[in-house]
């Protein structure tokens, strides 16, 4: 029986997978070209974040192209050269592998400037389709140098009137697999490889995810409830590596979870596994994404993206956005009439990043309450009083603000990032409710700045929608939005937590008034938090 596999290229005989015929055929078509015998193929880049299926798709493309007797088809793995600094040493290694794999005689390449001769028609006996995997693992100088050679050969072939197999150079087509940095976005000298088309590798569709789990059901006899598939797709947005990882966890288990194969995989099973995936389980894809998100100056974009005031526009020419986009931290969403907006790659990644930054910034929160302090106005054996809990938090923030926020990340105008206060509240709630049969977790209903904290205490759910105050008009909209979100959570009451630098008693009385939404019937309880001194 097959298994789910989330690390490295999947095996068609051992692992559940998606055929992805359209992408494979696109790769074949671009490498062969529209007129293979006359003009030749295209020089392309194949890009996507880690564990999205780039290598597997190009392996399938390789196998199918390898059946065409008109061509040599060769795929080289370059990851082992990522620590090599000397460009000529890299070129020599690549050339040596080509020579060996094609059994070429009397040809030796040891320098970049000699590489072209390897592809001449007096060296090759038929056109070559060359695929270089992990191309972006090479250093920038090697990437630039190789891309320059390929570009030169491509242009010479374009001018050569002979058929593809009779041209001076027989490098029919090239595929560079990696992230999009191979285009030269990060190259201060500009990209020398501007002749290529690109083949982006998209996430799995909902139907493709559903098909994988249906395949598992047929082989194992164990059904996976529809709610599990729906939630899995929602949380991962079909990211192939994450989909298969959750498939592994749910069907094979791990140290703290032992699946019961005698019954269907339920929503409760998914919730248990998902909680561990957010909090404690290591995953190479996720760890890599976090490592990219925390790097300066890219971390500033991530922190800005957590703000609740407005969405951020996506611009590919912004190097920071490009870096985060191609490393699987963020995605873009097309908004008709407004262009493309930034959102996190998927809700699961957003939760992992929220947890990382909140824990990293606020490793210590100070004393949450005094010994023997009467807390009956806030928490009882039956319920929580959210307004009083938030007022306790505000007092804690004001009392400890100077040292607690001393090293907090700041914007260029030296103001603290809005998200920092959300992280701070989250950590405070976790510590206040520790050992009290409670759980706190963040939800992100839109994928960008909107954030809600959900508290479960004594089997009761409490919803806290977090906002920053801008003006009265936006506040009225926030009340309506909170009511709609409360309705989606099937809550009769939801709390709107509004952060503002300063608020006096007069404005508290004016704005901290319960709002009952006519359309939903949900009561919104606004509670303001003053963040300034």
All residues at 6 or more sequence positions from 511 whose CB lies less than 8 Å from its CB, including other chains: 475, 498, 503, 526, 528
Structure tokens at 216: 């598992």
What is the tens place of the pLDDT at every residue in 475-511? 999 999 999 999 998 999 999 999 999 999 999 999 9
| pLDDT recorded at residue 200 | 81
| pLDDT recorded at residue 526 | 96
User: Which 3 state secondary structure label does DSSP give 175?
Assistant: strand
Note whether 185 and 137 are within 8 A (CB): no
| pLDDT recorded at residue 281 | 94
Note whether 40 and 33 are within 8 A (CB): yes
All residues at 6 or more sequence positions from 194 whose CB lies less than 8 Å from its CB, including other chains: 151, 184
Omega cis (within 30) before 297: yes
Tallying the residues shown for the chain, one arrives at 533
| pLDDT recorded at residue 179 | 60
| pLDDT recorded at residue 85 | 94
How many Å apart are CA 15 and CA 219, to the nearest integer? Answer: 12
Query: What is the model's pTM?
Result: 0.87
The CB-side HSE value for 135 (13 A sphere, CA atoms) comes to: 28
The CB-side HSE value for 530 (13 A sphere, CA atoms) comes to: 12
Strand partners, 160: none
Point out the residues of the chain with pLDDT beneath 70.
179-197, 309-310, 446-449
């Amino acid at each position: 029986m097959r298994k789910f596999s989330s690390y490295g290229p999947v095996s068609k005989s051992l692992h559940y997978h998606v055929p992805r015929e359209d992408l494979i055929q696109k790769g074949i078509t671009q490498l062969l070209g529209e007129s293979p015998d006359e003009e030749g193929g295209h020089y392309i880049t194949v890009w996507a974040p880690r564990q999205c299926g780039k290598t597997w798709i190009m392996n399938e493309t390789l196998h199918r192209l390898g059946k065409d007797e008109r061509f040599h088809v060769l795929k080289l793995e370059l990851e082992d050269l990522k620590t090599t600094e000397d460009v000529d040493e890299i070129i020599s290694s690549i050339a040596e592998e080509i020579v060996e794999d094609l059994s070429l005689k009397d040809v030796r390449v040891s320098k970049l400037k000699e590489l072209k001769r390897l592809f001449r028609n007096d060296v090759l006996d038929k056109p070559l389709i060359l695929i270089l995997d992990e191309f972006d693992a090479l250093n920038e100088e090697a990437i630039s140098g190789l891309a320059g050679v390929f570009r030169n050969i491509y242009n010479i072939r374009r001018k050569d009137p002979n058929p593809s197999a009779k041209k001076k150079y027989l490098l029919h087509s090239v595929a560079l697999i990696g992230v999009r940095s191979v285009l030269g976005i990060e190259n201060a000298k500009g990209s020398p490889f501007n002749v290529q088309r690109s083949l982006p590798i998209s996430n799995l569709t909902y139907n493709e995810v559903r098909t994988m789990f249906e395949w598992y059901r047929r082989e194992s006899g164990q059904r996976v409830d529809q709610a599990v598939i729906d939630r899995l797709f929602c949380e991962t947005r079909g990211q192939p590596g994450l989909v298969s990882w959750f498939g592994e966890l749910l069907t094979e288990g791990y140290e703290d979870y032992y699946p019961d194969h005698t019954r269907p995989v339920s929503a409760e099973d998914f919730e248990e596994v998902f909680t561990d995936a957010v909090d404690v389980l290591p995953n190479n894809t996720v760890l890599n994404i976090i490592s990219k998100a925390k790097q300066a100056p890219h971390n500033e974009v991530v922190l800005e993206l957590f703000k609740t005031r407005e969405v951020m526009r996506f611009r590919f020419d912004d190097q920071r956005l490009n870096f985060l986009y191609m490393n699987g931290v963020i995605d873009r969403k097309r908004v008709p009439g407004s262009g493309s907006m930034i959102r996190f790659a998927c809700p699961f990644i957003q939760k992992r990043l929220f947890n990382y930054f909140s824990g990293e910034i606020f490793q210590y929160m100070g004393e949450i309450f005094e010994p023997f302090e009467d807390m009956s106005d806030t928490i009882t054996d039956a319920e929580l009083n959210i307004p009083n809990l938030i007022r306790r938090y505000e007092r804690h923030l004001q009392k400890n603000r100077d040292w607690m926020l001393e090293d907090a990340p700041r914007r260029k105008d030296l103001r603290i990032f809005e998200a920092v206060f959300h992280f701070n509240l989250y950590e405070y709630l976790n510590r206040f409710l520790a050992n009290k049969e409670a759980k706190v977790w963040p939800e992100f209903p839109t994928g960008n700045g909107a954030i809600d904290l959900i508290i479960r205490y004594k089997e009761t759910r409490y919803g806290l929608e977090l906002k920053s105050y801008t003006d009265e008009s936006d506040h009225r909209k926030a009340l309506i939005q909170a009511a709609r979100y409360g309705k989606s959570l099937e809550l009769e009451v939801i709390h709107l937590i509004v952060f503002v630098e300063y608020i006096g008693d007069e404005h508290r009385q004016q704005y901290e008034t319960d709002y009952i939404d006519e359309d939903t019937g949900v009561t919104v309880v606004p509670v303001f938090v003053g963040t300034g001194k």
